[in-house]
């Protein structure tokens, strides 16, 4: 599932530079007045980190999984590969707790179902 930013966001902006896919915008691209995550660019950091970088740095825990957009680890890894064609990623069966939240039971928001 893609990540969303809830209404609790304080617009601090710490999440935006942490996203490896530039999926987070302060609203200027969409002509809105709040931060949001483009679900077509969000890979939940699969292939990069064992946690979603935005969740890790958010001081008010408003970066959460979108319950309306559930996506598989395979799909998210494929998206990362499409977004970053010049980058090398582990194969699906080589992902680990360090490169996929699906394999990291100790991540922040692990209690929120995938």
- Residue 60 in domain: yes
C-alpha Rg value of the chain to the nearest Å: 13
Residue from 25, 22, 57, 48 nearest 102 by CA: 48
Residue 111 pLDDT grade (very low, low, confident, very high; cuts 50, 70, 90): low
The domain tally of the chain equals: 1
pTM here? 0.89
> CATH number, domain at 58?
3.30.70.20
pLDDT at 114: 47
- Residue 114 in domain: no
pLDDT at 17: 96
- Residue 95 in domain: yes
Residue 40 pLDDT grade (very low, low, confident, very high; cuts 50, 70, 90): very high
Q: Would the pLDDT of 44 be above 70?
A: yes
Structural domain range at position 63? 1-108
- Residue 113 in domain: no
Please give the share of the chain, as a percent, with pLDDT higher than 70: 94
């Amino acid at each position: 599932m893609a990540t969303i930013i809830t209404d609790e966001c304080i617009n601090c902006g710490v999440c935006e530079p942490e996203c490896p896919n530039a999926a987070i915008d302060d609203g200027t691209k969409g002509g809105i007045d709040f931060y949001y995550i483009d679900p077509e660019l969000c890979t939940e950091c699969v292939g990069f980190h064992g946690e979603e970088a935005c969740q890790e740095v958010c001081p008010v825990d408003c970066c959460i999984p979108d319950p309306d957009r559930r996506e598989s680890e395979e799909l998210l890894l494929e998206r990362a590969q499409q977004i970053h064609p010049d980058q090398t990623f582990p194969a699906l069966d080589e992902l680990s707790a360090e490169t996929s939240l699906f394999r990291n039971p100790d991540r922040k928001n692990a209690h929120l179902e995938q």
